[in-house]
Amino acid sequence: MTSYVDFYRQSIDQPDTFWAEQARLIDWHKPFDRVCNHDRPPFVNWFEGGQTNLCHNAVDRHLADRADQAALIAVSTETGTEKIYTFKELQVEVQRMAASLKALGVKKGDRVLIYMPMIAEAAFAMLACARIGAIHCVVFGGFASGSLASRIDDATPKVIVSADAGSRGGRVVAYKPLLDEALRLSGHRPEAVLLADRKLAPMALVAGRDRLWTELREQHLDAQVPCEWLDSTAISYTIYTSGTTGKPKGVQRDTGGYAVALAASMKHIFDGRAGETYFSTSDIGWVVGHSYIVYGPLIAGMATIMYEGLPTQGMDGQPNGGIWWSLVEKYKVTAMFSAPTAVRVLKKQDPALLRKYDLSSLRALFLAGEPLDEPTARWISEGLNVPIIDNYWQTESGWPILAIANAVEKKPSKFGSPGIPMYGYNVKLLHESTGEELTKPGEKGVVVLEGPTPPGFMQTIWQDDERYVETYWKTLPGRMVYSTFDWGIRDADGYYFILGRTDDVINVAGHRLGTREIEESISGHALVAEVAVVGMADTLKGQVAMAFVVLKDAALAQDAAAALKLEGEIMKRVDTDLGAVARPARVRFVTALPKTRSGKLLRRAIQAVCEGRDAGDLTTMDDPTALQQIRDQVAAA
């Protein structure tokens, strides 16, 4: 087996040779002339002169060898439906969608905004856009009208593809009224809106604009739509970063570089093999859904599971904490990708569920989206008895920056660490004030990337090169490096540990503390299931830490004496681990923490409530009652 050190060093020292080899993992209609053009830093063009197509690589090229193999497995515990599309059937449906979009006036280079639940038609729409050279912009389903309107104005789509409604936990979320209001608020007017009608909510159609997918599909049942060969550097899609304030920040991705990056990551990081099944529990509204629900697994010739529903909800709509494991057994999933939050939810279920199903096909569980705490990692590792591979990346990167590439060389995972730098990423730790590189183990700095950034990384911010440079590349003194805006440390073995956002730093009496460090300490308490720590303004110390804790046994928090004792134990633990300065001012017990539907903690919203400020746009919150609990706790103080 190749040494990962040698593999990595070649990617950094000889990027042209390295990436030319990786480029052989996909089909090219026209060979590229130049591997890497970094003549105008920080901008980089990959595989210039080459032509390819994402849809061809994800669908058409597999027809010769695996036309009848499962490609897309659409599962909804919300509607109790399950449907398998083979590669051949997927190509037919994508061509029908592509023909429908073309009939609505969509051409190469036009934008198509997709605002849909986790249903097969959403994947058809994405792949259809890639097929005809349109730029898709997926907005998370159920997003508020105002936020959706700003994205419509920024993307200026020719067509919007949506649905009557989505559903979560049995609660129907009507999309069409949200979309109609967004279009009323926006200055841009699409030429058409294409709608999938799931019969979940009534839907009023706007004459001359709104069209039903079922009707257009009928008109194009036998459509033959060839793939449009695109320059490698052509834009494949834009996606807006979560938490954007003001003008939306559209991350822009290329075509050829992205296809190569995904093909390489499926081989080297995820050990994905053609004919097997991949299961990512994310949403297509997020970058994980783009890379590892739709494109990555299909490019690798794998079946991909597209899941709508909760991790604790069965096909009959009843509580079932084993639903995901039943799918692993049924479809012989070999690689699974989820989020630490989802595992913490499953941690509250009966541990016997992990032994109920045959999970012998599973080779690894990958977790990302937020830092993975050691207790959660240890629990799921012992339960599944497979490698738990944390990995760290961003919407901007498109694929993992830090992970373990076990398919190159097997290395142990370290609980609490997302791993080591992945090939192509020249990762450094820099001092925030001086820009000096930190090389000693345990030194805390800002995690940055030196250019050129690898294939698959964002090209720029959609229609705003200057903002791209100013936002990401000019934040550290004297250095043009890409800032992840995350604190990190590196141990003696080269493993990185992410300590939280640089903008999630608490300044307590002149001491700078990362909320992540305090959370890690608290989460180690045997009775703690989840924790969120935020900084709250304090007239004496500048800021103090506030901790909000979900207990494994919620009844403990109802006993005032027990709660007070537990609060003292947690404070003492932080005191011991990090020092008195890091000790939270208060520990509040709640039954749930406010999160987005993709599982990210809404720390800024929690902080705003603590400080009596407006919590902002909360339309992507999974459980609206969670923030109210925090309001009540703060009000009672």
Q: Kindly report whether the peptide bond that precedes residue 452 is cis, defined as omega within 30 degrees of 0.
A: yes
Asked if 630 and 591 count as a contact pair (C-beta separation under 8 A), the reply is no
How far, in Å, CA of 77 to CA of 311, rounded?
Answer: 9
The helix-helix angle for 624-636 and 603-610 (nearest 10°) equals 30
User: CATH number, domain at 265?
Assistant: 3.40.50.12780
| Residue where a domain stops, chosen among 455, 473, 491 | 473
DSSP for residue 134:
P
The answer to whether residues 132 and 191 belong to one domain is: yes
User: CATH number, domain at 627?
Assistant: 3.30.300.30
How far, in Å, CA of 57 to CA of 77, rounded?
Answer: 30
Instruction: Assess if residue 498 is contained within a domain.
Output: no
Tell me the pLDDT tens digit for each residue of 312-355: 999 998 999 999 999 999 999 999 999 888 898 888 888 889 88
Question: Own/partner pairs for 510-517, CB < 8 Å, 24+ apart?
Answer: 510/542, 511/581, 511/582, 513/545, 513/578, 513/581, 513/582, 514/487, 515/545, 515/603, 516/371, 516/487, 517/578, 517/582
The answer to whether residues 527 and 438 belong to one domain is: no
The answer to whether residues 518 and 437 belong to one domain is: no
User: What is the predicted pLDDT for the residue at 193?
Assistant: 98
The answer to whether residues 273 and 345 belong to one domain is: yes
SS3 assignment, position 399: coil
**37, 125, 589 from 278: Cα distances, Å:** 33, 20, 37
The answer to whether residues 550 and 459 belong to one domain is: no
Asked if 340 and 529 count as a contact pair (C-beta separation under 8 A), the reply is no
The answer to whether residues 364 and 215 belong to one domain is: yes
The answer to whether residues 238 and 151 belong to one domain is: yes
Asked if 574 and 500 count as a contact pair (C-beta separation under 8 A), the reply is no
Instruction: Assess if residue 487 is contained within a domain.
Output: no
Instruction: Assess if residue 497 is contained within a domain.
Output: no
Q: Is the sign of the CA dihedral 108, 112, 114, 119 positive or negative?
A: negative
Q: Is the sign of the CA dihedral 116, 118, 122, 127 positive or negative?
A: positive
Q: What is the mean pLDDT of each run of 10 residues along the chain (637 residues)?
A: 93 98 98 98 98 98 98 98 98 98 98 98 98 96 83 97 95 95 96 98 96 98 98 97 64 98 98 98 94 98 97 93 96 96 86 91 93 85 93 96 97 94 98 94 96 98 96 93 95 93 70 78 92 84 88 89 93 83 91 82 86 75 82 82
Instruction: Assess if residue 585 is contained within a domain.
Output: yes
Strand partners of residue 430: 437, 446
The answer to whether residues 363 and 259 belong to one domain is: yes
The answer to whether residues 155 and 42 belong to one domain is: yes
Largest CA distance in the chain: 72
User: What is the predicted pLDDT for the residue at 503?
Assistant: 67
Tell me the pLDDT tens digit for each residue of 49-103: 999 999 999 999 999 999 999 999 999 999 999 999 999 999 999 999 999 999 9
Instruction: Assess if residue 14 is contained within a domain.
Output: yes
User: What is the predicted pLDDT for the residue at 298?
Assistant: 98
pTM: 0.86
The boundaries of the domain holding residue 586 are 509-636
How far, in Å, CA of 207 to CA of 189, rounded?
Answer: 14
Instruction: Assess if residue 503 is contained within a domain.
Output: no
The answer to whether residues 448 and 378 belong to one domain is: yes
| Number of domains the chain is built from | 2
The answer to whether residues 368 and 418 belong to one domain is: yes
Who's near 215: CB < 8 A, 6+ residues apart?
none
∠ CA 416-417-418, rounded to 5°: 125
Instruction: Assess if residue 173 is contained within a domain.
Output: yes
Strand partners of residue 545: 535
The answer to whether residues 456 and 525 belong to one domain is: no
User: What is the predicted pLDDT for the residue at 243?
Assistant: 40
Strand partners of residue 534: 546
Asked if 47 and 40 count as a contact pair (C-beta separation under 8 A), the reply is no
Instruction: Assess if residue 490 is contained within a domain.
Output: no
